[in-house]
Structure 1
Amino acid sequence: MTIDMSAVQELLDKEAIRSLVSRYCNAADRHDHEKMRSLYWEDAIDDHGAMFNGPAMEFIDILPQIQAPMEVLHHNATSMNIAVEGDIAEGEIYLLALHKVQEADRSYDVLVGGRFFDRYSKRDGVWKYQHHAIVADWSFVNEPSHVTLSHPFLAGAHIGRPGPDDPSYRFFKLLHRGA
């Protein structure tokens, strides 16, 4: 049996990109801006529509103020359509993203069904985002918020939260937090 090394390399590259997408979701949900910064090339573009479209590092600089009112962020990447050609790749990544927002005078939930339109590049053997764009296909809004973490069903449960106080930062040793 002959092993097609180009097919093996394509599988390795696609798995590295799937891992990149998963780390992006984790960094967004935990408000881990140091980790988020490590996922993009310095010259990368981030396109969040009217919210921001420009250099990814500038987007990450303003993320703390964007995420400040978000008590819960929960990104779920689902179908991943990835094409690789050498050291470049493209991905159409389907996602569901829940946002629970608490502002001074109101609270609301926004569940977005959408896609990431991504371009990735591999430099020195490492895949990172070259261009990351968000496309919304639908949204579901509750105002006021219907998300609650105080229901008796959750009594005694570990509760996730943005930042280094999330239980994952104490639990995991192999899944690196931060950069």
Structure 2
Amino acid sequence: MALDPFGPGRIRDRLQIQDLMYRWCRAVDRLDKQGMLDIFWPGAIDSHGPYIGPAEGLVEWILVRHKPIATSSHFVGNLLIEFASDDVALVETYVRTIQQYPPEAKSQLAQLTGGAAGEPGGAMDMFTSSRYLDRMERRDGEWRIAHRDLIQDWKQIADVKYPALAPKEGWIIGRRDGTDQMQAERKRLGIG
């Protein structure tokens, strides 16, 4: 007999799935290879626009493609979880991204837009509205993604005319090289 979709067991499942989506965003924005891999079952397939294939290849593609991108923020919003069985769920998650591409990353930007990369020589901000459509599976008590389709709804790029962040001494700035303040604090507290 299937569990009540909002009973205590399913609430636990829903929170685990929600946590998985939040951890994906943090891992991709911090370029945390193992964190990204931990979201997918080995051999999971991801259809991510320019990349379609095993999730392990997706992670490698992201690490290379994102290397010159100094800032990346993924925000998740609406998250609808529908259970197909006790151990399979279809999860639709709205995601917004903001990324800044320096002039040397024009080819990476063009990959995601289908060719548009803005004016030569200038930095670009890219804004997206997409949805992750994930088939999640629970195996040995753990939920992970078995298949992901990225549904691209909207993209916009804008010239960066005036970089607004001019940090002063002592300001904490986000990093994507393993030394972000969040990563340092996790280590200090023995988390992860």
TM-score range, shorter chain: 0.7 to 0.9
Q: Which residue of 1 aligns with 2:108?
A: none
Distance 1:158 1:55, change over 3 A: same
Deviation sequence 1:47-104 (CA, Å, 0-9, x none): 111x101111111122221111211110010111111231111111011110111132
Q: Which residue of 1 aligns with 2:118?
A: none
Identity %: 26
Q: 2-side partners of 1:74 and 1:138: how far apart?
A: 16
Cα drift, residue 12 of structure 1: 0.6
- Runs (4+) of structure 1 exceeding 6 A deviation are none
Which one of 125, 133, 139 corresponds to residue 117 of structure 1?
Answer: 133
Cα drift, residue 45 of structure 1: 0.6
Q: Which residue of 1 aligns with 2:10?
A: 10
Q: Which residue of 2 aligns with 1:171?
A: 185
Q: Does 1:150 align with 2:150?
A: no
Cα drift, residue 145 of structure 1: 5.9
Which one of 144, 158, 182 corresponds to residue 128 of structure 1?
Answer: 144
Q: Does 1:161 align with 2:160?
A: no
SS of 1:162 mapped into structure 2: coil
Q: Which residue of 1 aligns with 2:19?
A: 19
Cα drift, residue 146 of structure 1: 5.2
Give the alignment of 1:23-172 within 5 angstroms.
23-49=23-49, 51-84=50-83, 85-104=85-104, 105-144=121-160, 147-150=163-166, 156-172=170-186
One-letter code aligned to 1:167: Q
Distance 1:145 1:133, change over 3 A: farther
- Gaps in structure 2 of 5+ consecutive residues: 105-120
> Normalization by structure 2: what TM-score?
0.81
Q: 2-side partners of 1:10 and 1:30: how far apart?
A: 30
Please say if residues 82 and 89 of structure 1, whose CA atoms lie closer than 8 Å, have aligned partners that are also in contact. yes
One-letter code aligned to 2:174: G
> Normalization by structure 1: what TM-score?
0.86
Figure out how many residues of one structure are paired with residues of the other and give that number. Answer: 170
Q: 2-side partners of 1:13 and 1:118: how far apart?
A: 15
Cα drift, residue 141 of structure 1: 1.4
Q: 1-side partners of 2:149 and 2:162: how far apart?
A: 28
Cα drift, residue 157 of structure 1: 2.8
SS of 1:70 mapped into structure 2: coil
One-letter code aligned to 2:75: N
Cα drift, residue 147 of structure 1: 4.9
